[in-house]
Every structure is written in C-alpha cells, then in structure tokens.
C-alpha cells in the first residue's frame, strides 16, 4: 500500500513538472529591442609613409596630394582615422569621422580635423530613398568617393580630385538605389574588390562649394548629380557612371598673392562633367575616369586668375592574386591634367603627366604594405612660381593598419 502511494505521488509530481515545462516552452520569447548605442560600430585605419627612396628631384612636389614629397620630407603620418557609425533606428543612420593627421601648417602636424559628420534619413521602408545631411563626400568621381583605405595608388588622381579638395563639403544630398544594388555596393567593399561604397545609383544634391571645413563665400550653392550602375556579367562586375556639377567658386584673399589680378567679386564659374568605367578585379581590373569643364586658373601671361577650360583623367590597371590568406595586387596608373587647381594659391595652373607602378600586399586583413614607383612631369605655376617645370621619379612606401 505504501509503495502504491509512493508511486502515485511520484507520478503526480512528474506530470505537474512535465505540464509546466510544456506550457513554458510554448510561451513567446520576447527579445528586448536594442538600445541605439548598441548599434554603433567603431573602426578606422592608420597610414605611415616614406617617399624619399630613389628620389631624383627634391623640388618635385604634390600639394593637393602627399605634402611629404621632396625637400625635408621624411617619415610621414598620412592618415589617422577613427570612424563612428551606426543605424540607430530603422530610418536613421549616422557617420562621424575625424582625422588626427591633419596639418595646421607646414610646421605643425597631427591636428584633429573633421572629415565627415552627417546623418541619413530613410524615406521608405527599405531606405532605398534617403537624404544625407551634413558634411560628407560630394558625389563626383568614383575615385574621389573611394576610401583611401581601399584605393590602390597612394594619392587620388589630379584631374578629378582637383574638383573638390578632401572630396567633401557641407550640403544636402538625395540618394536612390534598389535594395539589391545597395547590397552589391556593400559587398564590393566587404569582399576587398576596392569598391567606392554606397553613394546610390542616382544622386542629386546641393552643397556650399568652398569645400570641407571652409565657410561659404557667396549665396550660390553648387549643384551636383550622378548616375552609376553596377551590374554582373558572368563572374565579372562592371560599373559605368556619369556625373556633373555647376556653381561659382570664390577665390579668397588668403588664396591670392600680392600682385596677382583677379575678378572684382572674386567669383569664378566652376563647372565639370565626368565619365567613369570600373571593371572590378576578378582577377583583372580596370578603373578609368575622365573629366572636362572650366574653372579658375592662373594665367602667367597676364598675371591674372581667369576662368579657363580644363581636362584630364586617368586609367588604373590591376590584377588581384590570392595565396592562402594573403592578397597581392600589382597595379599601374597613368594620368594627366591640364587646368587650374582652385584650392591652391592663385588657382595654380597645372600641366602634368604621371606614370605609376605599384604592388599592394595584404599578408593579413589588418595590415597592408604598398610600394609604388612614380615617374612625374609637372608644370605648376602661380604668381610667385613662374616657369616652374619639375620632372623626377621616386619610390614611395606605405604601411597601413585596419581596425
């Protein structure tokens, strides 16, 4: 009798416990929504360079590119970037990037300066339509928008980069791209194929026109538009594009020499149109761009800053090799530019040709080493530097860490 009662008691306890287990297993598990700060990521990169090996002309320089070329150049911290970004809600994305390798002057280095500070507002459920507000890259030129962390040549080409120094300005930009194209833009960067990032299939915007970290000087914003469409053909990915902008640029007092002549209101027409063609390196790659337009340029015959035509472009050839975890990319770039550089003293006049051979080695994902040999022929003239033709070659090295 006692044994029977014991087994009945044990069976009852077992049944209650099993029933509770079944009931709890059927309950809906509520996953708490992430706080906005839990969606923020921190990443960045650091670049250290040396440009003096096999140098044949210490007077050869590149002001808009790497200022450690030539005389008194040594080991140089080119970039020190820390990036904060995140999708802090379904329709709000933010991006903040300072650079701690900026130069306050030729004798004061490594100051912090703002590069990007913007937010994206999604206008539909998939954020295919969005507005970007703040300081960000101007959608003009593939290589301009391609991060220096991903680019093969150590400096951007003169022809298109002369349009917007530091590639950025304050403004409002509208971007549109279908969901599948946004995913492809992201994959082209994530997979190491040297993509430009997601700047939409179509872009249209207005910006100050005096470039990043500079105050506006007139009441006429620049207007820019761009169309770029990546698509697959078999194993290959191709991205053709076209872009243009128009506005008026003000050559300010600190940009002119004593004695140089300029327009009374210092305003100059600033207009360009460019075409791009990208064949992503799978394994052979081609990156080519060309632009034409008009803008401020110093004329040494009249000692005046005038609105003059400009033209130029580049082509980069590459081949991507994989060996176990390592990536090796030999590349070659040829470029030329004839025109003014509105950001430099007296809208300095340029007539340049350059050929570069290099190789990028990534032994691990977090470290890259680039060696590049540059053969350059540059004529750049302003009111102070007249009849200034510099030719030369040099071997350039860069070590980069990614985190």
Domain-embedded: residue 191: yes
Q: What length does the chain have?
A: 403
Q: Which domain holds residue 107?
A: 36-402
Does residue 278 belong to any structural domain of this protein?
yes
Identify the CA nearest to 381 among candidates 373, 370, 389, 393: 389
Residue 29 lies in a domain: no
Classify residue 192 as left (phi > 0), alpha (psi -120 to 50) or beta: left
CB burial string 370-390: b at 16+ within 10 A, e below: bebbbebbbbbbbbebeeeeb
Tens-digit pLDDT profile for residues 108-134: 889 999 999 999 999 999 999 999 999
pLDDT at 274: 98
Cα separations in angstroms, 104 against 47, 100, 109, 361: 18, 11, 6, 32
Identify the band that residue 3 occupies on the pLDDT scale cut at 50, 70 and 90.
very low
Q: What whole-number distance in Å separates Cα of residue 293 and Cα of residue 246?
A: 9
pLDDT band at 67 (very low <50, low <70, confident <90, very high): confident
**Is 1 within a domain?**
no
**Domain for residue 178, yes or no?**
yes
pLDDT of residue 103: 83
Is 2 among the domain residues?
Answer: no
DSSP one-letter string for 96-114:
EEEEEEE-SSSS---EEEE
Residue 59: which CATH number? 2.40.160.10
Q: How many structural domains is the chain composed of?
A: 1
pLDDT at 28 over 70: no
Is 204 part of any domain?
yes
Residue 15, pLDDT above cutoff 70:
no
State residue 19's pLDDT score: 42
Strands (E), 61-201: 76-89, 92-102, 111-122, 129-137, 168-176
Residue 104 — very low, low, confident or very high, per pLDDT cuts 50/70/90? confident
Q: Is residue 254 part of a domain?
A: yes
- pLDDT tens digits along 262-318: 999 999 999 999 999 999 999 999 999 999 999 999 999 999 999 999 999 999 999
Beta carbons of 345 and 256 less than 8 angstroms apart: yes
pLDDT reading at 175 higher than 60: yes
377-389, pLDDT tens digit by residue? Answer: 999 999 999 999 9
pTM of the model: 0.89
- Provide the CA 184 distance to its chain's centre, in angstroms: 18
């Amino acid at each position: 009798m006692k044994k029977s009662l014991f087994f009945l008691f044990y069976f009852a306890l077992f049944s209650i416990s099993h029933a509770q287990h079944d009931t709890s297993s059927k309950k809906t598990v509520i996953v708490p929504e992430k706080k906005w700060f839990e969606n923020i990521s921190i990443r960045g990169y650091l670049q250290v360079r040396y440009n003096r090996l096999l140098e044949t002309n210490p007077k050869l320089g590149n002001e808009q590119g790497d200022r450690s070329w030539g005389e008194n150049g040594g080991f140089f911290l080119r970039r020190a970037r820390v990036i904060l970004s995140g999708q802090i809600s379904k329709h709000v994305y933010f991006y903040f990037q300072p650079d701690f390798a900026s130069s306050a002057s030729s004798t004061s280095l490594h100051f912090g300066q703002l590069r990007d500070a913007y937010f994206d507002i999604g206008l539909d459920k998939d954020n295919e339509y969005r507005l970007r507000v703040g300081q960000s890259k101007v959608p003009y030129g593939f290589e301009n928008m391609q991060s220096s962390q991903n680019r093969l040549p150590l400096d951007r080409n003169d022809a298109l980069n002369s349009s917007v120094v530091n590639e950025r300005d304050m403004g409002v930009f509208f971007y549109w791209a279908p969901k599948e194209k946004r995913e492809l833009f992201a994959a082209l960067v994530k997979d190491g194929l040297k993509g430009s990032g997601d700047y939409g299939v179509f872009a249209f915007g207005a910006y100050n026109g005096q470039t990043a970290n500079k105050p506006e000087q007139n009441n006429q914003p620049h207007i820019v538009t761009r169309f770029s469409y990546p698509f697959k053909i078999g194993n290959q990915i191709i991205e053709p594009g076209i872009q243009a902008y128009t506005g008026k640029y003000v050559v300010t007092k600190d940009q002119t020499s004593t004695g140089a002549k300029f327009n009374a209101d210092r305003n100059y027409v600033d207009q360009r149109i460019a075409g791009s063609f990208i064949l992503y390196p799978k394994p052979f790659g081609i990156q080519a761009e060309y632009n034409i337009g008009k803008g401020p340029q110093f004329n040494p015959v009249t000692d005046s800053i005038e609105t003059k035509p400009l033209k130029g472009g580049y082509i980069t050839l590459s081949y991507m090799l994989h060996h176990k975890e390592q990536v090796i990319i030999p590349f070659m770039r040829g470029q030329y530019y004839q025109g003014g550089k509105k950001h430099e003293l007296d809208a300095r006049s340029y007539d340049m040709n350059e050929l570069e051979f290099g190789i990028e080695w990534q032994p691990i994902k977090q470290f890259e080493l680039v060696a590049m040999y540059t053969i350059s022929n540059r004529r750049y003239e302003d009111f102070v530097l007249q009849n200034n033709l510099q030719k030369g070659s040099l071997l350039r090295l860069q070590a980069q860490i990614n985190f």
